[in-house]
Amino acid sequence: PKLEAAGVPCGPLNTIGQALANPQVKARNMVVHTALPDGTPLIAAGNPIKLSAHADPATRAPAPDLDADRAAILKELGL
């Protein structure tokens, strides 16, 4: 209140819980739901860069296992 009264730009300092509970966090998909390769649910930070021509779903496919795509990548590279 004193800073605001003095005309100093300021805002609240939120805890992590308070920040994640902010409705804008959900609206901007800043927390997304995915799963580990074994199916265990995982909550992760969303991409902060938003582009209107690209979808930004609130859920993501699980990441592949380590080396799961090696053969396909090597084939695409002609190796």
Residue 31 identity: V
Given this model, what pLDDT does residue 65 score? 82
Structure tokens at 34: 């995915």
pTM: 0.58
Given this model, what pLDDT does residue 58 score? 84
Residue whose structure tokens are 């265990």 = 40
Given this model, what pLDDT does residue 1 score? 77
Q: How far is it, in rounded angstroms, from Cα 64 to Cα 38?
A: 10
CA 41 and chain centroid, separation: 14
pLDDT tens for the chain, residues 1 to 79: 799 999 999 988 999 999 999 999 989 999 999 998 888 999 999 988 999 898 888 888 888 888 989 999 999 999 9
